[in-house]
Amino acid sequence: MELPKSEKELLENLETLIARTYIVEKEFKELKNILNGVIEFLPQALWVIDENGEVIVKNSKTNEFKDIPKDGEINIKNKYFLVQSSNIKNKKIVSATDITEQKRNERLIAMGQMAAHLAHEIRNPISSINIYLSLLRKKCPQNEIFDEMKSSLLRVERIIKSTLLFSKGINIKKETFAISKLFKEIDEIIKYFPRSKEIEINYPETNENIKGDFDLLLLVFQNLIINAIDAIEEYDIEKGIINIEYIKNNYHIFIISDNGKGFENKNILFEPFKSTKTKGHGLGLALSKEIINKHGGSIDICKDKKGFIIKIPNK
């Protein structure tokens, strides 16, 4: 029996409506998946709470929190978060943004400003002491005490220079010079640094030239070699050896290694104002990395030996 025309049209419309409902449901699910993906992609931890206080949406970054935090700055497991909330209709949205790096930078700026002020205050009396020491040494040329005093002053001057460079920023002034000249200058400086053990420093023999900032690269290698000396002094060995290897390809590659005490915490080696050494001031490696980066190169820990590898573009 054939249905009346009106009922047939109603049935057809109903089938169309059901088909469209399936399409709408599919589109809704796709949209929901996209929305969940966007929420998961957000850098903040995010909660959406309904009028009954139930969490209806959240992303995986909320797993760092036991409870939904309140507005303001909070500290969880050495991380800082800024918590903010807002209401949209009958829903409450809470976000927690990781501001650890921002807080760290603020702290470094404050420390850098204070350190720069102290460095300026110390520099003038140190210069005066150096002058008087030079005059006294002329009168007592064989007295070893003056060498000890000179080495201590050199260490202080290196710290002052590093601090001022770190606080003011680094400007590279490139020139072409012989690598042998760089290591000859370093050897003259290093010999004043005191050591209780016999330490052999092996410099590479090369006639190659390099283009860079002589004074800043001098500071980098000085920092790394003194670092190696300190590591040897703190280690239970009779004789220390520091090897400096040189390789040239697309880069000038320098490998500085030693047989001293190993790295205690590799994660903070290049962090400013952090040091695991008893004599460290926490700026040498951080500043060295910045100087090499400014040259377009890199400085990293060696994988197969205790030491550092420096790469500076050969151009």
Task: Go through the domains of the chain in sequence order and give each one's CATH number.
Answer: 5-100 (3.30.450), 101-168 (1.10.287.130), 170-315 (3.30.565.10)
What is d(CA 160, CA 225) in angstroms, rounded to the nearest whole number? 18
Average confidence (pLDDT) over 94-100: 90
CA dist 166 and 115 (Å) reads: 9
pLDDT tens digits for 189-226?
A: 887 776 778 899 999 999 999 999 998 899 899 889 98
Three-class secondary structure of residue 117 per DSSP = helix
Q: Is the model's pLDDT at 117 over the cut of 70?
A: no
Per-residue pLDDT, 115: 65
Instruction: Provide the whole-model pTM.
Output: 0.56
Structure confidence at residue 281 (pLDDT): 54
309 vs 307: CA distance, rounded Å: 7
- Whether the CB-CB separation of 58 and 47 falls below 8 Å is answered with yes
**Partners of 241 in the β-ladder:** 200
Q: Quick check: 77 pLDDT over 90?
A: no
Higher pLDDT, 154 or 221: 221
User: 3-state class of 255 per DSSP?
Assistant: strand
Q: Answer whether 215's CB lies under 8 Å from 201's CB.
A: no
The rounded distance, in Å, linking the Cα atoms of 213 and 172 is 6
User: For residue 189, what pLDDT is reported?
Assistant: 80
Decide: 69 and 45 in contact? Cβ < 8 Å. Answer: no
Tell me if residue 43 falls in helix, strand or coil: coil
Per-residue pLDDT at 27 exceeds 60: yes
Q: What's the whole-number mean pLDDT along residues 270-295?
A: 74
- Per DSSP bridges, beta strands 79-88 and 307-313 are unpaired
> How is residue 151 written in tokens?
């080495």
Asked which of 20-24, 159-163, 278-282, 305-309 is least confident by mean pLDDT, the reply is 278-282
* pLDDT surpasses 80 at 240: yes
Q: What pLDDT sits at residue 299?
A: 93
Residue 292 has pLDDT above 90, yes or no: yes
What mean pLDDT value characterizes the chain? Answer: 81
For residue 159, pLDDT beyond 90: no
